[in-house]
A and B are shown apart, each in its own frame.
Chain A
Amino acid sequence: MKSITIALKDLSRAFRSMFALAFMFGVPILMALLFAFLFGGVGGSDAEFSVPKTTVQIVNLDAGNEFVPTFEFENQSAGSLGEMLVSILQKENFTDLMTLSLADETEARSAVDEREAGLAIIIPADFTDALIGMTEDSTAIEFYKDPELSLGPQITESIVMSVVDGFSSGVISMDAILKGLGEQGVELSPAQQAQLIQSLTQEGEANGQTQSSALTILPPTDNTPSEPTSLLQTIIRSIMGGMMIFYAFYTGVSAAQTILQEQERGTLARLFISPTPTRTILNGKFLAGFLMIVVQVITLLTFGRLVFRVNWGPFPSLAVFTVGLVALASSFGIFVMSFVKDTKQAGIIYGALLTFTGMLGISSIFTVGTSAERAFEFIPLMVPQGWAMHALQASWEGNLISSLLLTGGMLVWALVFFLIGNARFKKRFA
């Protein structure tokens, strides 16, 4: 009961402090609003948000394969996979994002150099052969782009890679057929393999089932399970989620710092003189941090949902993430402050520590689409904020299992932090 009294007193004092309120709610919301205005609007409507259209010059050098004269897809046919890629990119779905025109290689490069185009996509001559496994050599589509442009060419690049991933899936399907034949002792020559592809494709066409053809072109996939999410909402979700985690840890440390503040102002000694056990006082302090972060996280999640229509994911995984974040951030505060001597030291130490661990933890949101993306899937897991960020991502992807596993990891961190911090404070105040 006394723990709750201490916690409520701290909570009431925190909500009287403009400084604390600014960091708990003001800064994360301002950051989200800033990004929303930068990217075109508030309210989650696609109509209000537009990525600048990218002028793309596409060069199709693909020579196709002599044994597979046509590739069928969505009631169309193409002479090569390069041609198929061009046809897909010319579809209406992408007209808002890019202006596409065919060019030869010299023209395309020159257009980018002279900034008439933002990106040139150069499909190599052996593109089809490589994808259907008719050559041992690997090949690559070249993206020749204006280095000063980032967002538009990056989006186009992602779309192209997504389509090519679909082609690769088709090749994997064909490989599975060939492997099955091989296990029965039937070995096919390259020419026979190509004939098989063609006959399978024609059979699929005859049956009106393009999906059963050997080369199935898959549309770019959307991982979001339920609600559709606009690009603006995705950006806001990442920024606001990251800021929420960053400042939840700030709140945890700031709440624990009241132990040092009370020590310096004499009220902690007065608490120790009262008939209140040390563990009750420390539990009250921990509970105060816990409650502050609960209020902060719920407020920010609700704000994101109502103002930006952010889809944070299904309720069970979001609830699991919230519990983990609150426990971890509040215990991290107790842990950090147990190593700090006074409030002067605290300002410097926790400022630097929170900035470093916080930025590292949420770095994955800033490395999307860059060469460092893969590395930053794992590096953030070195700090607790990284676990929280991954758990939030698992939540909005609707992956309850991942969410549970990551929250389990967060709770282990939280337990270790709490036990160490609590033991150190008990020793200090024994």
Chain B
Amino acid sequence: MNGPAIRVQNLDKNFGDVHAVHGFSFELHQGEIFSLLGPNGAGKTTAIGMISGLLKPDTGDVWLMGHSIQQDAEAAKAELGVVPQDIALYEDISARANLNFWGKMYSLRGSELNERVAEVLELVGLEDRATGAVSKFSGGMKRRLNVGVALLHQPRILIMDEPTVGIDPQSRRRILDSVKQLRDNGVTILYTTHYMEEAQELSDRIAIMDHGEIIALGTHQELIDIVGELDRITLTIIGESAKVKPVWQAIEGVKKISSENGTLHLLVTDSNQILPEVFAAASSVGVRINSVQVQEPNLEAVFLHLTGRALRD
């Protein structure tokens, strides 16, 4: 098949008066890792729900390897593996029993099922714990098995909804490495996260979401270019921000100031040169600076630039 692996066209979803997702459209090429980046509540999980056929969109449609999720649901779903945000396993039975059950749900049977179960157990590093009840697993082991279930039927498209939330660094690294390996094997991956570093490390392209809409889409570099080569200075102060904002705005090289929950963010051309002037200006209006953090341009800065809010909030 030569077309896009995933084609999302004009999805809308409302829950009562809440517009969860609006005008959502993009295409994913085969073998691409595409990240949906946005803060909690941005609409990522709702979008994933519609793409995977779990939620019915109010308008729009999704095609997976050319199969409409609404018109040809079973064929579309057979192409898809989904790693849900929350662990979705039967904890009172073993890892192997879980994999056997989910394999059957994807029509795997007999020796093919046995082989795939063994391969997946090895892939997620749980061969030694195959017969133990999942309830006895650590959070990281459960996460890995949660990923393994989605890989059983060797899907050509994999959706991973925040798969590294709340796990230890070792399990996280293992999952990120698996994602890269899958991409190398030709699997198309739609990855949602609110961890900027993950999106940055994994993605061929990134879409930034806020309030149910895609506000920016491109490669990592294309997104960075939106804010140019600006550094970000994050400060906390003792005193009124209203007093200090005008004097900082007057400093040459300060491009944008935003404040959020007592923290001030400055986008500046050269932080090394401007920082002494920032301290001096604050002192001149009787405001004391409590802490300072300087960051090179990154996706966090892009999000801040586009929304005026920090990504992690």
Which residues of A come within 8 Å of B, CB atoms?
2, 5, 9, 12-13, 16-17, 265-267, 269-277, 430
Contacts and interface: CB of A to CB of B under 8 A. Distances in A.
Interface string B82-97: 1010111110110001
Given A274-B102, A277-B74, 7 more contacts: A269-B84, A270-B88, A273-B52, A273-B80, A275-B74, A275-B77, A275-B78
B92 A266 contact: no
Q: Is the interface of A mostly helix, strand, loop or mixed?
A: helix
A276 B105 contact: yes
A269 B88 contact: yes
9 A-B pairs with least C-beta separation: A266-B88, A275-B77, A274-B105, A275-B74, A270-B88, A275-B78, A5-B104, A266-B86, A273-B82
Given A12-B93, A273-B53, A273-B54, A2 B88 contact: no
B272 interface: no
A88 to B, nearest CB: 63
A342 to B, nearest CB: 15
Interface of B: 52-54, 56, 73-75, 77-78, 80, 82, 84, 86-90, 92-93, 97, 101-102, 104-107, 149
A277 B77 CA distance: 11
A271 B88 CA distance: 10
Contacts of A13: 90, 92-93
Contacts, number: 56
A16 B90 CA distance: 12
30 contacts: A2-B104, A2-B105, A5-B101, A5-B104, A5-B105, A9-B90, A9-B101, A13-B92, A13-B93, A16-B93, A17-B92, A266-B84, A266-B87, A267-B89, A269-B84, A269-B88, A270-B88, A270-B149, A271-B105, A272-B53, A272-B54, A273-B77, A274-B102, A275-B73, A275-B75, A275-B78, A275-B107, A276-B105, A277-B74, A430-B56
A16 B80 CA distance: 32
B106 A16 contact: no
Contacts of A12: 93, 97
Contacts of B54: 269, 272-273
A271 B53 CA distance: 11
Contacts of B52: 273
Nearest to A277: B74
B221 to A, nearest CB: 34
A281 to B, nearest CB: 9
Contacts of A265: 88
Nearest to A270: B88
B110 to A, nearest CB: 13
A266 B82 CA distance: 12
Contacts of B149: 270
B192 to A, nearest CB: 15
A426 to B, nearest CB: 13
Contacts of A270: 82, 84, 88, 102, 149
Nearest to A429: B54
Contact of B90 (A267, A275, A276): A267
Contacts of A266: 84, 86-88
A269 B88 CA distance: 8
B282 to A, nearest CB: 49
Contacts of A274: 77, 102, 105-106
Contacts of A267: 88-90
Residue picked from A9, A265, A274, A277, most chain B C-beta under 10 Å: A274
B100 to A, nearest CB: 9
A269 B77 CA distance: 13
A266 B90 CA distance: 10
A274 B87 CA distance: 16
A17 B91 CA distance: 12
Contacts of B87: 266
A18 B189 CA distance: 41
A238 B220 CA distance: 75
A274 to B, nearest CB: 4
A17 B92 CA distance: 9
A382 to B, nearest CB: 38
A2 to B, nearest CB: 6
A276 B73 CA distance: 9
B78 to A, nearest CB: 4
Contacts of A9: 90, 93, 101
Contacts of B86: 266
A255 to B, nearest CB: 15
B269 to A, nearest CB: 47
Contacts of A277: 74
Contacts of B104: 2, 5
A17 to B, nearest CB: 7
A340 B31 CA distance: 43
Residue picked from B52, B73, B87, B90, most chain A C-beta under 10 Å: B90
A17 B93 CA distance: 11
Given A266-B84, A269-B88, A270-B84, A275 B106 contact: yes
A267 B89 CA distance: 6
A69 B256 CA distance: 125
B94 to A, nearest CB: 11
A273 B79 CA distance: 11
A273 B101 CA distance: 14
Contacts of B77: 273-275
Contacts of B97: 12
B268 to A, nearest CB: 44
B53 to A, nearest CB: 6
A258 to B, nearest CB: 10
B103 to A, nearest CB: 10
A273 B76 CA distance: 10
A231 B37 CA distance: 74
Contacts of B56: 430
A8 to B, nearest CB: 9
Residue picked from B53, B105, B106, B107, most chain A C-beta under 10 Å: B105
Nearest to A266: B88
